[in-house]
A = this chain, B = another copy of it.
Amino acid sequence: MFLSELIPEEEALKIIKSTPLNLKVEEIPLEKAHRRVLAEDVKSLLPSPPFDKSAMDGYAMRAEDSFGHSQTKPAHLTIEDRIGAGELSSKTLKTGKAIKIATGAPIPEGADAVVMEEYTVEDGDSLDVETSLTPGENINPRGEDLKKGDLVLKRGKLLKPADLAIIASAGYSTVKVFKKPEIGVITTGSELVMPNPNISGAEVINSNYYTLKALVESTLALPGIVHCVDSAKLVEEELEKMLETCDAVITTGGTAISKGDVVVDVADKLGKVLIHGVGMKPGKPFAFGMIHKKPVFMLSGYPVAAMVQFDIFVRQELLRMQGIQNEPLRVRRTATRKIASTLGRTEYIRAKADNKTVTPLKIKSSGVIRSMVESNCYVVIEENLEGFEEGEECEVLLYNSLQI
């Protein structure tokens, strides 16, 4: 396999998006469903609230008994019963009567309003009501939130705290969600070692090990990660092992053409390499293939290039594998200085954006991790543009908008 002809980024994305998905569904307890993705439409099994409910601590009564009354001319009623939340009154309320009621308790039969405690004076069983009520006042009517059969939430919804509340209210204690895909990560490179202050010779710290695990986590998928030296035999073994259990594999390193670059060759042997080399910067040495019907994303060994490739080619796909639709929003910002670019490559310039402007970082090398740490966005320069002048509007991809 040789990185010969670069294909445009758009074409690479099209190839990746056209690979078939294999979404799996599992049923889990609702209390574990925060940040999971609904695998089916949820329809309400019952009305919510299930009965006319008091919205206040006060007294259930007939509104008409209060008509025309006020602090100076209170209505005089008799308290017939007292119910807390969770209690039902057996009484049917008649004119001239009141039932003390707690927030959340069912409105007794015959009552059509609740007067707040603040507007009453209680003395034994007698009650003065110092205000005039409208029918329905301080009552949450049955079905106000949900009617039985209402569509509550749609398949594909990433569940937030309030979503769990409405699913519970719809009568469900379990929920069907998409399974989190398991993503194997293999970092390759004979020069790479785990972090320590005393590295020697040609050793380089394997920072991709940490970044890639975290990047997979940031998509809510489940990473499993190993490191492998630049040996075709060992890379093949690891890849085969990963593909047995994982839904997709990501590799770093070994995607260009040089001594020891083995990953793409191995992928080509085991399956079909569909992309090798993309017209983008950084990130040109990106490869993608299908092995045993599973997607394999081959990223550069260069930390910054690997992060850009992940953001552009992998992130959306890992989301798609769990049923999440999240088109990252591209916004427009004014360049605070000239930004140069190469024709024929889509460039991702690390930059800092505020609400109006964007300033490219001075660091450009794709070896410099600081450029990712200190930036909050990419300025995206399409392949047919030579860059932007100071004061020109440019297209910006905010890291925040990648986050789900």
Name A's B-contacting residues (CB within 8 A): 30-31, 33-35, 45-46, 48-51, 53, 55, 57, 82-88, 100, 102-106, 117, 140, 144-146, 153, 159-173, 189-192, 194-199, 201-215, 217-218, 225, 229-230, 256-261, 301-303, 307, 365-370, 372-373
- Contact partner of A171 (CB less than 8 A), chosen from B49, B145, B161, B196, is B196
14 A-B residue contacts at CB 8 Å? A30-B195, A35-B217, A50-B204, A55-B367, A84-B259, A85-B191, A86-B190, A88-B202, A117-B258, A159-B214, A161-B214, A161-B215, A161-B307, A171-B199
A355 to chain B, nearest CB (A): 9
Find the B residue at minimum CB distance from A194.
Answer: B173
Find the B residue at minimum CB distance from A403.
Answer: B403
A104 near B301 (CB under 8 angstroms)? yes
A212 to chain B, nearest CB (A): 8
Which residue of A48, A82, A85, A190 has the most chain B CB atoms within 10 A of its CB atom?
Answer: A85
Find the B residue at minimum CB distance from A400.
Answer: B400
Question: Which residues from B are CB-within-8-Å of A30?
Answer: 195, 210
- Contact partner of A197 (CB less than 8 A), chosen from B45, B196, B212, is B45
Apart from A33-B210, A166-B373, 19 more pairs, CB < 8 Å = A30-B195, A46-B197, A50-B199, A53-B204, A57-B258, A83-B202, A86-B189, A87-B202, A103-B302, A145-B367, A161-B212, A161-B218, A162-B211, A164-B214, A165-B373, A166-B369, A168-B195, A168-B209, A172-B195
| A189-B34 contact, Cβ under 8 Å, with A160-B214, A195-B171, A307-B162 | no
Question: Which residues from B are CB-within-8-Å of A168?
Answer: 195, 205-207, 209-210
Give the docked Cα–Cα distance between A148 and B201 (Å): 17
Question: Which residues from B are CB-within-8-Å of A171?
Answer: 195-197, 199, 205
| A103-B258 contact, Cβ under 8 Å, with A45-B197, A171-B197 | yes
Find the B residue at minimum CB distance from A218.
Answer: B161
Question: Which residues from B are CB-within-8-Å of A161?
Answer: 210-212, 214-215, 218, 307
A202 near B51 (CB under 8 angstroms)? yes
Question: Which residues from B are CB-within-8-Å of A105?
Answer: 191, 202
A164 near B210 (CB under 8 angstroms)? yes
Question: Which residues from B are CB-within-8-Å of A35?
Answer: 217
Find the B residue at minimum CB distance from A159.
Answer: B214
Give the docked Cα–Cα distance between A350 and B102 (Å): 26
